[in-house]
Amino acid sequence: MDIKNKVAIITGGCSGLGNATVHSFIEQGAKVAIFDINEEQGAAIVKELGPENVMFKKVDVRSAQSVEDAVASVVQTFGAVHVCVNCAGIGPAKRTLDREGNAMPLEIFSNVIEINLIGTFNVARVAASAMSKNEPMGEAQERGIIINTSSVAGYEGQVGQAGYAASKGGILALNLPMARDLAPLGIRVNAIAPGTMGTPMLLNMPQNVQDGLVNDIQFPKRLGLPSEYGALAVHLAQNAYINGEAIRIDGALRMQAK
């Protein structure tokens, strides 16, 4: 897909991987709709990049109505939806049982599943509906692409990551059947599984903590750059033959138990 003048929805676009992806798509000439809950930061990004290029909608990805209304607004403003990149998510750390043998509160597990997995599917399903109305594009005659964010924790969840790993493993499992569901419409579905990325949250940690996170990364021996995630999302949109695939971006990291 030639993404110049195409329209991309990016959830979690106010910070971290999502914000880097917003900039990557804008640099390629796309229009971007940011779905996030941070209204102040959303307004600042629109001011920075220009309302002709970016729009912001406050969206609760868990809510069907919130997402449906937001996607309808994107179509009304920019005319279509061609790309959806789901970056919104949370990553609470909590063991199944604490040191005293108390069970993890169920709402912690439920919340991460609702935001990371159900929220991803919620946005993807509504974006796919909008994409299905597009005219086929290019040699591949595609109508759109959905890119969901998993994690290396979806493969190798660590101690304290039961909820997070389950949510990200669910995104991996979602990938192929959704790609098969949407293939007759010319809509592709892929996932990116980042390793330890240099998001603001991690970069604000003490240097010794950052150094510890890098220990098991093979090469390059550093945290991943959010811009590298954004560049991969752009490539997935541009490369019509990548479909139903989950791509790790982790410097050959394989997570240890803790």
Q: Is the pLDDT of residue 78 over 80?
A: yes
- Residues 34, 101: contact at Cβ < 8 Å? no
* Portion of the chain with pLDDT greater than 70, in percent: 99
CA pair distance 67, 119, nearest whole angstrom: 9
Q: Is the pLDDT of residue 246 over 90?
A: yes
- Residues 230, 23: contact at Cβ < 8 Å? yes
Residue listed under structure tokens 């419409």: 185
What SS3 string covers 86-107?
A: ECCCCCCCCCCECCCCCECCHH
Pick the catalytic residue from 155, 164, 229, 241: 164
Q: Is the pLDDT of residue 8 over 90?
A: yes
pLDDT of 48: 96
Q: Is the pLDDT of residue 213 over 90?
A: no
Assign domain 7-249 to its CATH architecture. 3-Layer(aba) Sandwich (3.40)
- For 135-176, the pLDDT digits (tens) are 999 999 999 999 999 999 999 999 999 999 999 999 999 999
Residue 31 sits at the vertex; the CA angle it makes with 238 and 198, to the nearest 5 degrees, is: 70
pLDDT of 205: 67
Mean pLDDT of the chain: 96
- To the query of whether residue 229 is one of the catalytic residues in this protein, the response is no
pTM score of the predicted model: 0.96
- For 193-210, the pLDDT digits (tens) are 999 999 877 777 678 777
Beta bridge partners of 197: 224
Q: How many CA atoms lie within 13 A of 240 on its CB side?
A: 15
pLDDT of 58: 98
Can you tell me the mean pLDDT for 82-107?
Answer: 96
Q: Is the pLDDT of residue 1 over 70?
A: yes
pLDDT of 43: 97
- Residues 9, 81: contact at Cβ < 8 Å? yes
Can you tell me the mean pLDDT for 230-239?
Answer: 98
Q: Is the pLDDT of residue 247 over 90?
A: yes
What SS3 string covers 17-75?
A: HHHHHHHHHHHCCCEEEEEECCHHHHHHHHHHHCCCCEEEEECCCCCHHHHHHHHHHHH
